[in-house]
């Protein structure tokens, strides 16, 4: 009986060790995008997602063409007036900040997004007391993520590594 317990214990340890995944970390030099909803009502969350989608449309082509972080930073800042004009159509108060902003830690499909202050474009709608949506804007992970949504964690990690290596 002791031999069986020992064998099962060793087997469990080996299984745990071999199933550990390599954790890929997004570089600190990335630029993030965050949209914070006014509240958690269905309407405010839907508005947040509409605005997020419109911001992505405004930035996508130019961000994909950016050769480096500095190009991306200049582009994002140059698009702020267009983003404001688009949000004005929603007839709600908002705040747009570009700079270092705090993000909590998040792990998505085996990719670790560490907590910290990151260069980012943050759009706060109304009181900003609702759930937020955020992604990595440069390298353009959030703009290309739709193509990799239904992939396995390993395939997604490979996808992200390729994008980061291409743009950083």
**Whether residue 126 has pLDDT greater than 80:** yes
**Whether residue 49 has pLDDT greater than 90:** yes
In angstroms, the CA 44 to CA 129 distance is: 10
Lowest mean pLDDT among 63-77, 82-96, 102-116, 124-138: 102-116
For 5-9, what is the mean pLDDT? 56
* Beta carbons within 10 angstroms of residue 19's beta carbon: 7
Which tokens hold the place of 98?
């570009």
Q: How many CA atoms lie within 13 A of 21 on its CB side?
A: 16
Which tokens hold the place of 88?
């004005």
For 103-111, what is the mean pLDDT? 77
Q: Which residues, 6 or more positions from 121, have their beta carbon under 8 angstroms from its beta carbon?
A: 31, 32, 33, 34, 55, 76, 80, 96, 97, 98, 137
Q: Say if residues 126 and 48 touch (Cβ distance below 8 Å).
A: no
């Amino acid at each position: 009986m002791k031999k069986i317990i020992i064998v099962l214990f060793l087997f469990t340890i080996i299984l745990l060790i071999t199933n550990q995944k390599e954790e890929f970390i997004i570089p600190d030099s990335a630029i993030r995008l965050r949209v914070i909803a006014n509240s958690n009502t269905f309407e405010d969350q839907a508005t947040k997602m509409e605005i997020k989608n419109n911001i992505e449309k405004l930035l996508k082509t130019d961000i994909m063409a950016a050769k480096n972080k500095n190009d991306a930073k200049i582009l994002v800042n140059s698009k702020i007036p267009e983003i404001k004009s688009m949000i004005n159509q929603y007839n709600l108060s908002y705040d747009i900040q570009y700079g270092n902003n705090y993000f909590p830690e998040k792990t998505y499909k085996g990719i670790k997004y560490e907590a910290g202050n990151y260069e980012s474009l943050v759009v706060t709608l109304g009181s900003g007391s609702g759930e937020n949506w955020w992604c990595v804007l440069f390298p353009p992970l959030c703009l290309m993520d739709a193509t990799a949504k239904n992939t396995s964690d390993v395939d997604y990690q490979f996808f992200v590594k390729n994008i980061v290596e291409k743009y950083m």
